[in-house]
Structure 1
Amino acid sequence: MSDFIAGAIGGAFGIMVGYPLDTVKVRIQTQKNYKGMWHCIYTTYKMEKMSGFFRGLSMSMSTVSICSSISFGTYKSCLHALCKLRYGSAEVKPSNLDIFLSGYAAGAVRVLVTSPTDMAKVRLQTQMQSYSAVASSCLLSKPKYQGPVHCLRMVVQEEGFLGLYRGCLALMFRDCLSFATYFLSYAVLREWLAPAGQSKPETLGVLLSGGFAGMLAWTVATPMDVIKSRLQVNGASIPKYRGVIHCITTSVRQEGVKVLFKGLGLNCLRAFPVNMVVFLTYESILTLTKQLSI
């Protein structure tokens, strides 16, 4: 239970740190009218002011704690079960394969919860609004989606219930491998950075391990993240993509292989501070709960 709680709190802190850059990343991946990160940031601010960077945040904040709790809790539960099955005790040191498989399982379970909310987040983030140059608070165009709940209702109304899971397969491919990489790289780096004679690293070691683990995970995840975002933005009325394979082949044919790495630099830039915060909070909560239980 402590892992579920620590994961929930860590995830909440992480989303607050990285959400603006996540919005920029999604827009670069799904829209062709941006020349790069800085152009997207400049255009978003010019057209929508600061609120443009936080579209869909309420939905993410309301669900990220649950999703992060599921990720960390499932990972640790699977790891304990694997160790008990293979070695007869959950207290033994797990192998890298055990960590990889547990992270893979955590990514798979997470998708079942995150797919609808991720759909709403992406559609809200890619929804453009323009403001008057004279009066910056004057909205010129009414957005299609009024908020996360309204977005989900509209998707169900226009595309059916399965519309909430558009891009789910790509999301599954993304999260399974990336979370396996995430937890494995963190465990390996955490062990490397631990002072001699100690099993746990100091605060700086946790920060660096979490930051680099996040970067490695997003390096693995970015190609399928691009496909996932494009499928989610793709509506049912005039679908541009028929599925994952069609989306990959069409995107590569039109924009080259580099399209699969759109937003990679931005993902890594965002992932480092976000996952520093996530793992530091996670480790701190675990330490606190252990102390309170003594």
Structure 2
Amino acid sequence: MASSEDVKSGESAVTTIVNLAEEAKLAREGVVNKAPSYAVASICKSLVAGGVAGGVSRTAVAPLERLKILLQVQNPHNIKYNGTIQGLKYIWRTEGVRGLFKGNGTNCARIIPNSAVKFFSYEQASKGILHLYQQQTGNEDAQLTPVLRLGAGSCAGIIAMSATYPMDMVRGRITVQTEKSPYQYRGMFHALSTVLREEGPRALYKGWLPSVIGVIPYAGFNFGVYESLKDWLIKSKPFGLVNDSSELSVTTRLACGAAAGTVGQTLAYPFDVIRRRMQMVGWNHAASVLTGDGGGKVSLEYTGMVDAFRKTVRHEGFGALYKGLVPNSVKVVPSIALAFVTYEVVKDILGVEIRISD
């Protein structure tokens, strides 16, 4: 007859076997250890979607991006680019198709990680801010308000811009080079190494402060307006823009992105102009690049952001802070719209269930 210890031992063995069998079954069904692997996969897919969105949107408007920068920094006494259409025609005539896309490779090398970090940072910042907001209000069903979305977007913009700023700085210098200017930079890595060697590591962050100040309303309103517009359309369902499943069409999402881009870039544009001008400080060939054929010299010596604002307005007028705004508006509206929609479409393709608005 079996002893009580033998019985207990047998029951323990049976329990262990049952537990192992249950764990094996759950593992086959994808339940055990799903959360960590799912989280990593979701993060990677989100980063990929953000990178693709940035690359597609910027390449589509690369000619307008280059023209905007040339208008921002050109010598007011030797105008070569006088408006959007004339400027694009001049680049086409003097530099050909390659001239329209000059600097785009460097721009994509910057914007792909920038966009990936920005979209992902917005998602994480939104979750963190919403959690704090729900705790503060004591309402677990509370949703993000437009102001909170603006804050999350600003945080995302600052993080992404700071992480990739050196690439933006050298991209600006490469972009203003023309066929008639002395070619100091042969590419992004050559530009980075040259700036480090000749001007020091701090030079890679010239213009960072106005960029931070400018990116707060720019990224904040981009995300805030886009998400708030989508939320309002889904709840109110005006003009039949939302179907029964509360899904917005691609056209409607593009329109939301266009509105967001228009508001954000208009508020932030003066800081973008000052950033570009500060990035040229210390570049030995900047004067010849910006003056063209025998034009007068441009004052490129700024002691800081406030000094750059003051000298620009004093010598060129308040309108100089909005140089290149027209091609930038033509560029930003489709660019931001494409970025948001591409991001959501790619996440759908990759099978990521959570969207930025969720």
TM-score (ref. length: structure 2): 0.74
Q: How far does residue 282 in structure 1 lie from its aligned partner after superposition?
A: 1.2
Q: Distance in 1 between matches of 2:300 and 2:276?
A: 14
Say what the alpha-carbon RMSD is for the aligned residues. 2.2
Conservation of the 8 A alpha-carbon contact between 1:15 and 1:61: yes
Query: Is residue 64 of structure 1 aligned with residue 116 of structure 2?
Result: no
Residue number in structure 1 paired with 2:61 = 18
Residue number in structure 1 paired with 2:97 = 50
Q: Distance in 2 between matches of 1:291 and 1:122?
A: 35
Residue number in structure 2 paired with 1:203 = 250
Conservation of the 8 A alpha-carbon contact between 2:211 and 2:271: yes
Structure 2 counterpart of 1:85, from 125, 132, 157? 132
Task: Report the CA distance shift for 1:125/1:107 in structure 2 as closer, same or farther (over 3 A).
Answer: same
Task: Report the CA distance shift for 1:292/1:187 in structure 2 as closer, same or farther (over 3 A).
Answer: closer
Conservation of the 8 A alpha-carbon contact between 1:171 and 1:224: yes
Larger radius of gyration: 2
Q: How far does residue 210 in structure 1 lie from its aligned partner after superposition?
A: 1.1
One-letter amino acid of the structure 2 residue matched with residue 253 of structure 1 = R
Query: Is residue 173 of structure 1 aligned with residue 213 of structure 2?
Result: yes
Query: Is residue 251 of structure 1 aligned with residue 312 of structure 2?
Result: yes
Structure 1 counterpart of 2:267, from 210, 220, 241? 220
One-letter amino acid of the structure 2 residue matched with residue 212 of structure 1 = A
Structure 1 counterpart of 2:121, from 74, 81, 86? 74
Q: Distance in 2 between matches of 1:115 and 1:86?
A: 31
Question: 1:1-294 residue pairs with structure 2 within 5 A?
Answer: 1=43, 2-32=45-75, 33=79, 34-88=81-135, 92-130=142-180, 142-194=182-234, 195=242, 199-235=246-282, 239-290=300-351
Q: Deviations for 1:33-68, whole angstroms, at most 9, x for unmatched residues?
A: 232223322322222112122222222222322100
SS of 2:186's equivalent?
Answer: coil
Q: How far does residue 90 in structure 1 lie from its aligned partner after superposition?
A: 8.5
Q: How far does residue 290 in structure 1 lie from its aligned partner after superposition?
A: 4.2
Conservation of the 8 A alpha-carbon contact between 1:120 and 1:152: yes
Q: Deviations for 1:183-221, whole angstroms, at most 9, x for unmatched residues?
A: 011012222333276544222111111122112211112
Conservation of the 8 A alpha-carbon contact between 1:59 and 1:121: yes
One-letter amino acid of the structure 2 residue matched with residue 80 of structure 1 = K
SS of 1:145's equivalent?
Answer: coil
TM-score (ref. length: structure 1): 0.89
Task: Report the CA distance shift for 1:85/1:146 in structure 2 as closer, same or farther (over 3 A).
Answer: same
Q: Distance in 2 between matches of 1:185 and 1:15?
A: 20
- Same amino acid, percent of matched pairs: 27
Task: Report the CA distance shift for 1:291/1:162 in structure 2 as closer, same or farther (over 3 A).
Answer: closer
SS of 1:193's equivalent?
Answer: helix
- Count the aligned residue pairs: 283
Give runs of ≥4 in structure 1 deviating > 3 Å: 88-92, 196-200, 236-239, 288-293
Task: Report the CA distance shift for 1:217/1:82 in structure 2 as closer, same or farther (over 3 A).
Answer: same
SS of 1:201's equivalent?
Answer: coil
Q: Deviations for 1:224-244, whole angstroms, at most 9, x for unmatched residues?
A: 010001111222669521111
One-letter amino acid of the structure 2 residue matched with residue 274 of structure 1 = S
Q: Distance in 2 between matches of 1:289 and 1:49?
A: 38
SS of 1:49's equivalent?
Answer: helix
Task: Report the CA distance shift for 1:86/1:192 in structure 2 as closer, same or farther (over 3 A).
Answer: closer
Unaligned runs of 5+ in 1: 131-140
Q: Distance in 1 between matches of 2:283 and 2:101?
A: 26
Conservation of the 8 A alpha-carbon contact between 1:29 and 1:226: yes
